[in-house]
Chains A and B, each alone.
Chain A
Amino acid sequence: MIRYLLLFSRQGKLRLQKWFTPISEREKKKIIRDMTTMVLARPPRSCNFLHWKDLKVIYKRYASLYFCLAIDNHENELIALEVIHRYVELLDKYFGNVCELDIIFNFEKAYFILDEFLIGGEIQETSKQMVNRAIEASDMLQETMEEYMSKPAF
């Protein structure tokens, strides 16, 4: 089971956080601090897996963004790496050539996509098409609602 997912920039700025198990606010802050220092200190081309307490941390860098995933110790590290990659693919498909700014300015969208992809720390949908269909369905609704709202009242 995935415990949490963090996205942060090369400067250590948090871009996205998703916690799949209940963790106190203090602990969260500590984890974020630990993760950023640990991951940012890694030299390039080194192993993508780290240990953190009894968890395994899987991280991968895409340009200026680090995706960092904590999983239980017995889980498969390589597939976790692919979870990250699939998420990036999903973001890319949705935003079209995704960049860090997309995620910064539209982080709620990034969360929506994540919610369609992972639920409660487990993979829900691995198909790119399906995730996008689900997001688009809700977006459509949004669009029509926005149109509706913007119509003059008289």
Chain B
Amino acid sequence: MSDVVEKTLTALPSLLSFDSQSGATKLSSTSKLGNLIRGITELTSKHEEEKLIQRELVSIKEQVSSPNTSMRQMKELMVRAIYCEMLGYEASFSYIHAIKLAQQGTALEKRVGYLAVSLFLNESHELLLLLVNTVLKDLQSTNLIEVCMALTVVSQMFPKDMIPAILPLVEEKLNHPKEIIRRKAVLALYKFYLIAPNQVQHIHNKFRKALCDKDPGVMAASLHIYSQMIQENPEGYKDLTASFVTILKQVVGGKLPMDFNYHSVPAPWLQIQLLRILAFLGKNDQSSSEIIYEVLDESLRRAEINHNITYAILYECVKCIYTIHPKSELLEKAAKCIGNFVLSPKINLKYLGLKALTYVVQQDPKLALQHQMTIIECLDHPDLIIKRETLELLFRITNAQNVTVIVEKMLEFLRVNKDDYTTIDLVGKVAELAEKYAPDNEWFIETMSTVFSVGGDMMQPDIPNSFLKLLSEGFDSVEEDRKLRLFAVDSYVSLLQGEPGKLPQRFLQVISWVLGEYSSLREELEAATVLRLLAKLLDMKSTSSETKSWVLMAMTKLCEGGAGVSVAQEVCETYSSSLDTVLRQRAQELQHLSQDCELRARVLPRDAGLEPLEVDSSLSFLDGFVSEALAAGAAPYKPPHQRQEELAQSKALSLEPYGLSLPISMSSCSIADRQSPTLLSVSSGLSGDSPDLSHKGGSTTLKLDGVKRVWGREGYLSQREPVEESAQVEVPSPLRSPSQQGEADSSHSQTPAPIPTPQPEQEKQQLASSLFVGLGSQSSVCLMGKSEPTTQRFRREAKGPSSSSASAASEQISNSLVSTPSTANNLLCNNLLDSNVTSELTVSSLEQTSQLSQSPAAANGTCDVELTDGDMKESSPSLVRDNGVVAADPAPHEDPDRPEDLCLNTHLPAEFSGLCHSEITPLCSNQSLDLSACHVQKEDSLALVVFIYNSSDSDIQQILLELDSDELEVSCVCDSAVQEARSHSVAVCQYSLTVKRPSVHVEVVGMVSYQFPVGTPQSLQFSYKLPLTSFIRPLTVSTEEYGTMWLDFSHDTKQKLTLISDGQEPLADTLNVLKKKLKLHVVEIIGMEGIIACRLLQDQPCLMHCRLHAGTLSVWLRSPVPDLPDCLMYHCQRALQEH
């Protein structure tokens, strides 16, 4: 078919001249649109086009606003307006008319109206509100086509806030006799689910009905919703696994109507959707996976026709097989499939083959070895996309032995690549590899220099930052540090002596810092020479002023001795009158410091340690000044965002009665003042009540990250490491004994023995051997493969798997069962980190875990320890993991006497003994440390207790716990700062948490770093999730107080909730459930209405008004805190559903 199309389309140029002959164009050749289009094709320049379109737009504008224009003409005008917009000219005047057309036109005009609306406006456009009524009317229309149009536009875009208005009508359509209406209704609900999941939470059972619809099309549409929901929460839908398998079996078996076939393959889209869902369900779940195996096998078998669409299905099968619990037969078939893809002459398949290899290579490095020659060929492929994908694959298999070759290949690619996004990504990867696996100093510095010059100014700013941090912090040996720095100085001096004009700004900044800091290490290098080189940078036109200030700061550190001072003076003269205030400041500093040696030595001491600077960030020294000014009548300081907010409030229409508008602003002020518990103000008691710290709703810590603070009193301020680890799982370092190498080799007996090969072939083989050296390749090919254990020299910290990568790690582990011994061994170093946590938990099913976690909540209404999905995942027992460990390593680091939860309970600080606490959940662990945590709900605070159990045989010192969260303020309860943990004992840390920004679930991420008496510092990362409800406390107010507060709060949300109607008094019952589960205070119940109050810790109230209405509960939540009503509504909904 495509050939036919292509032929027709190639005939196009000839058609252009005789367009009257074309059937379709005949219609419009006389129309105005036809004239416009033809007019434009005849034009030669952009300028002429612009003139023509502007004329056209003027004429359209005139006509649309004329009252005599009929709807029929309007339709034609809209089509022309759409065309103009498509060419990139704005026709915003027509938007309102498009809505009018959709509203007033008859069916065919309406269709154009709706199309224009969907093309012109997007979800957030304010005019869209005008469409709501039209949609409502059309949804109720008896004309099917109008209903279809309305549903189509609803699933294109619909204002989020207006969903409740049409939701009942859309729901109703799920029962419509016509399947096309049902299908569109399901897709509209899918759209709602995507943009506002809690709006459609109550209709989940209707989704099930759609899934069971007799029309396969409706069922297929419902899979979109299920795919989304299952991805978010696979545990909740395990019961559907068998149903999905049955559906897939029927589809594969050709049981669907012929209509669904595509090129004689039965419903491929449906198949792929189902495979994807099954992959979610079978991931890390052996029992579900076992249900899936058979149908996967059948899908693989049936997909045999040589067509793109079957390859698409095969590819999805392969992905599924490698995602779910492994089965060796299927893995073999999948590996064969991947092989076929990689070897295929079709370039698209080759690409997918490489992608699949990248996906599986960590589980099965053997597979990459089998295809090593193809991979080498792909490295030199003329298509950059293929090359890029190959590098991605190589990146995953990099280790200390092949790093130089792989990085060289990457840099080669970078030099020819033109795409910015790829450059940024790849530069980051090179930097990461260089840092992790650099074989020696020279290589590292040179590679980083290339990274800086190629990456230029678009690369991620943390690359130069972490490079400088690495240089300044150093690593194991002082001598090595010195050598590295010296080499950097040498190579940068020679770079500056060359043509520094070509270097990117970021690189110049790095160079100036390094020279400023370390050029004194090279004794024969005179400071004046360096200063002159730096001064040369200042004179270059291309140097940005940011770089100039880096240069000036470097010069400040260097200006010593007569010659140096004179260079410095020269520079100062030029820049101390610069218009740029920063430069002028730096120049002034330079001038003063170059003249006053003593002062300079104090400000910029040589060999300054890296102790963190003490910065009085609360600016408490200004308190006297501020209070004086305040006393003299100055207005208190308000941060800009608060000022803006107030401005906006005063501008916005007041919907409240006039008399009350004053108290609104008053109360919002007083609330703002009350909520200022801050980390910083605690440290400087003086400024605790200084007005600038009482941001409304915002964080009260000074925002330092917006301001670039690179230099401090003692030089460069090292930046904090980003907490988030890169998502990919590390390739285990190749620490293998020769015997294991042998084992690995023997497992590759199927690869032919090397025979004498021609020259180019030999080169390739050499390349192959150097690329795949760490993966256990054939010893005969292994020219460079001396598998001596190499340590990673530039590793600053052990990047233990954080909880986010834990699932990925477990994936690997689960696969270790079937991989070669060498792989299993490689994987060991990863899985051991995990094994301790889960090994003793032998709960058989996940339902049990969730029941366990929820039962306390039901039992005593005052304590909520509902575990979130994330938690469940962490604690979910995986028998597979244990097996993996046992099979791979007979001497595991498991401790028989590691602390059970029960034992940890005894370590709970005494003051919490009477309070209820959540279940103690393991956070992370490795050979020496086990971290667990729970939270304790106190009357007016929430405490997080972290247990650090030292499972090793030696004492651990300098334990440092750092916690951070987007949504929470975390402060350490001062007397609990742990420093050391004795062998086989538990240390306990306490933190108090307060909410910064409400969110349905809040998460604390943290890092523990520690050090053994002998050995390098290590660290572990973890995260802890808890629901917002832990922060909710009852708020006891009287009805009168409630009344006055109600009007003062500006943020609100309304929704209908299901009623618990099994008792005598549904309202009271429902409210009691909410009271119990969420710890709310029921203020009063009057007839059909109830009022409830609660507060978020630290006195942020939230009020709730409930009313019985037609069998449901309409709930209205109000609070002064943004987002709080929404989040609370979510939890109310959950609480009622779970009941």
The yes or no verdict on A and B being binding partners is yes
**CB-CB under 8 A for A82 and B308, given A22-B122, A126-B262:** yes
Interface residues of B in 5-24 (CB under 8 A from A): 5-12, 15-16, 19, 22-24
- What is the chain A residue whose CB lies nearest that of B388? A51
Can you offer 17 A-B residue contacts whose CB atoms are under 8 A?
A16-B86, A47-B347, A50-B385, A63-B9, A64-B10, A98-B8, A99-B15, A101-B24, A102-B24, A105-B27, A108-B79, A115-B152, A120-B194, A124-B184, A124-B187, A126-B267, A145-B108
- A65 CB-CB contact with B under 8 Å: yes
Tell yes or no: B111 within 8 A of A by CB. Answer: yes
> When chains A and B are docked, how far (Å) is the Cα of A17 from the Cα of B315?
29
The reply to whether the CB of B351 lies closer than 8 angstroms to some CB of chain A is yes
**Docked-complex contact A29 and B88, CB < 8 angstroms:** yes
Q: Considering the complex, give the chain B residue whose CB is closest to the CB of A33.
A: B88
Q: Which of B9, B148, B309 contacts A99 (CB 8 A)?
A: B9
In whole angstroms, what is the CA distance A51 to B12 when docked?
31
Residues on A with C-beta less than 8 A from B15 are: 99, 101
- Whether the Cβ atoms of B79 and A76 lie closer than 8 Å is no
Selected from B29, B86, B260, B315, the residue in CB contact (under 8 A) with A14 is B86
Question: Chain A, 104-148, contact with B by CB distance < 8 Å: what is the 0/1 string?
Answer: 111110011001000110111111011000100110011001100
Q: Report the separation of the CA atoms of residues A5 and B309 in the bound assembly, to the nearest whole angstrom.
A: 20
User: Would B351 and A49 count as touching, CB distance under 8 A?
Assistant: yes
Apart from A22-B157, A64-B10, A126-B267, 12 more pairs, CB < 8 Å: A49-B348, A51-B421, A63-B6, A78-B312, A79-B269, A79-B312, A99-B11, A101-B16, A105-B27, A105-B33, A124-B183, A145-B107
Q: Which of A59-87 touch B at CB < 8 Å?
A: 62-65, 76-79, 81-82, 85-86
User: In the bound complex, how far is the Cα of B308 from the Cα of A89, in angstroms?
Assistant: 15
What 9 pairs across the A-B complex have the smallest Cβ distances?
Answer: A63-B9, A78-B312, A127-B259, A142-B108, A79-B312, A22-B122, A102-B24, A120-B155, A97-B8
B124: interface (CB < 8 Å): yes
Given contacts A45-B347, A78-B312, A129-B259, contact A119 B9 (CB under 8 A): no
- Tell me the minimal C-beta distance from B720 to chain A in angstroms: 25
Interface centre among B79, B187, B260, B311 (most CB of A within 10 A): B187
Nearest chain B CB to A47's CB is how many angstroms away? 5
State whether the Cβ of B106 lies closer than 8 Å to any Cβ in chain A. yes
Please report the C-alpha to C-alpha distance between residue A19 and residue B123 in the assembled complex, in whole angstroms. 11
Q: How many Å lie between the Cα of A137 and that of B88 in the bound state?
A: 32
CA distance A60 to B542 in the complex (A): 42
Report yes or no: A47 in contact with B351, Cβ–Cβ below 8 A.
yes
The reply to whether B115 and A112 contact each other, CB–CB distance below 8 Å, is yes
Q: Which residue of B lies closest to A83 (CB)?
A: B269
Q: Once bound together, how far apart are the Cα atoms of A52 and B19, in whole Å? A: 37
Scan residues 99-115 of chain B and give those whose CB is less than 8 A from a CB of chain A.
Answer: 106-108, 111-112, 115
Are the C-beta atoms of A134 and B148 separated by less than 8 Å? yes
Contact with A along B790-803 (1 / 0, CB 8 A): 00000000000000
Cross-chain contact B269 with A126 (CB below 8 angstroms) = yes
Residues of chain B in range 1097-1131 having any CB-CB distance to chain A below 8 Å:
none
How far apart are the CA atoms of A98 and B11 in the complex, in Å?
11
Q: Within the complex, what minimum Cβ distance (angstroms) separates B811 from chain A? A: 15
> Number of contact residues on A: which range applies?
35 or more
**B contact residues around A81 at 8 Å (CB):** 308, 312, 348
Does B4 count as interface, using CB distance less than 8 angstroms? yes
Which of chain B's residues have a CB closer than 8 A to the CB of A77?
A: 348, 351-352
Residue of B nearest to A122 (CB): B224
- Known contacts A99-B11, A104-B37, A126-B260; A76/B6 CB under 8 A: no
Question: CB within 8 A of B119: which of A78, A86, A111?
Answer: A111
CB neighbours (8 Å) of B118 from chain A are 115
Query: How long is the Cα–Cα vector from A17 to B88 in the complex, in angstroms?
Result: 11
Q: A49-B348, A51-B388, A120-B155 are in contact. Are A127 and B260 (CB under 8 A)?
A: yes
CB distance from A6 to the nearest CB of B (A): 10
Report B120-135 residues with CB < 8 Å from chain A CB: 122-124
Closest partner residue, chain B, to A102 (CB atom): B24
- B899 an interface residue at 8 Å Cβ cutoff? no
Distance in Å from the Cβ of A17 to the closest Cβ of chain B? Answer: 6
Contact across chains for B315 and A78 when beta carbons are under 8 A apart: yes
Instruction: For the complex, give the distance between the alpha carbons of A53 and B421 in Å.
Output: 6
From residue B34, how far is it (CB to closest CB) to chain A in Å? 6
Tell me whether A46 and B383 are in contact (CB under 8 A). Answer: yes
**Shortest distance from the beta carbon of A12 to any chain B beta carbon, whole Å:** 12
CA distance A124 to B72 in the complex (A): 30
Q: How far is the CA of A145 from the CA of B9 in the complex (A)?
A: 32
CB-nearest residue of chain B to A103: B24
- Is residue B28 contacting chain A, with contact meaning CB distance below 8 A? yes
- Chain B residue at minimal CB-CB distance from A78: B312
| B residues in contact with A62, CB < 8 Å | 2, 5-6, 9
Q: Which one of B8, B124, B262 contacts A86 once the chains associate, using CB atoms below 8 Å?
A: B262
- Contact of A108 with B312 in the complex, beta carbons under 8 Å: no
A152 within 8 A of B: no
Residues of A within 8 A of B86 (CB): 14-17, 107
| Nearest CB in chain A: distance from B424 CB, A | 10
- Closest B-chain residue to A148, C-beta based? B106
Contacts of B421 in A (CB 8 A): 51-53
Query: Which of B202-232 touch A at CB < 8 Å?
Result: 217, 221, 224
Chain B residues, CB < 8 A from A29? 88
B309 / chain A contacts, CB cutoff of 8 Å: 78-79, 82
For the complex, what is the distance from the CA of A142 to the CA of B88, rounded to whole Å? Answer: 29
With A82-B309, A122-B187 already in contact, the answer to whether A102 and B25 are too (CB < 8 A) is yes
Question: Which residues of the partner chain B approach A146 to less than 8 Å between Cβ atoms?
Answer: 108
In the complex, residue of chain A having the shortest beta-carbon distance to the beta carbon of B350: A47
Interface check B716, CB cutoff 8 A: no
Specify which of B6, B221, B383 is in contact with A124 (CB 8 Å cutoff).
Answer: B221
Q: Are A85 and B2 in contact (CB under 8 A)?
A: yes
Residue of A nearest to B267 (CB): A126
CB distance from A96 to the nearest CB of B (A): 7
Q: Is the pair B152, A119 in contact by a Cβ cutoff of 8 Å? A: yes
- Cβ of A138 and Cβ of B145 under 8 Å apart? yes
Closest to A106 in B: B24
Whether the Cβ atoms of B83 and A107 lie closer than 8 Å is: yes
CB <8 Å contact, B221 and A65: no
A106 in contact with B108 given A82-B309, A99-B11, A100-B9 (CB within 8 Å) = no
Question: Roughly how many angstroms separate A63 CA and B2 CA in the complex, as a whole number?
Answer: 10
- B768 contacts partner chain A, Cβ-Cβ < 8 Å: no
CB distance from A116 to the nearest CB of B (A): 8
CB of B385 within 8 A of CB of A49, answer yes
Q: Given the complex, which residues of A lie within 8 Å of B386, measured CB to CB?
A: 47
Q: Could you tell me the distance in whole angstroms from the C-beta of B11 to the nearest C-beta in chain A?
A: 7
Q: Name the contact of B190 in the complex, choosing from A47, A65, A122 (C-beta under 8 A).
A: A122
Given A51-B388, A99-B9, are A22 and B123 also a contact pair (CB < 8 Å)?
yes
Question: Chain A contacts of B107 at CB under 8 A?
Answer: 138, 141-142, 145
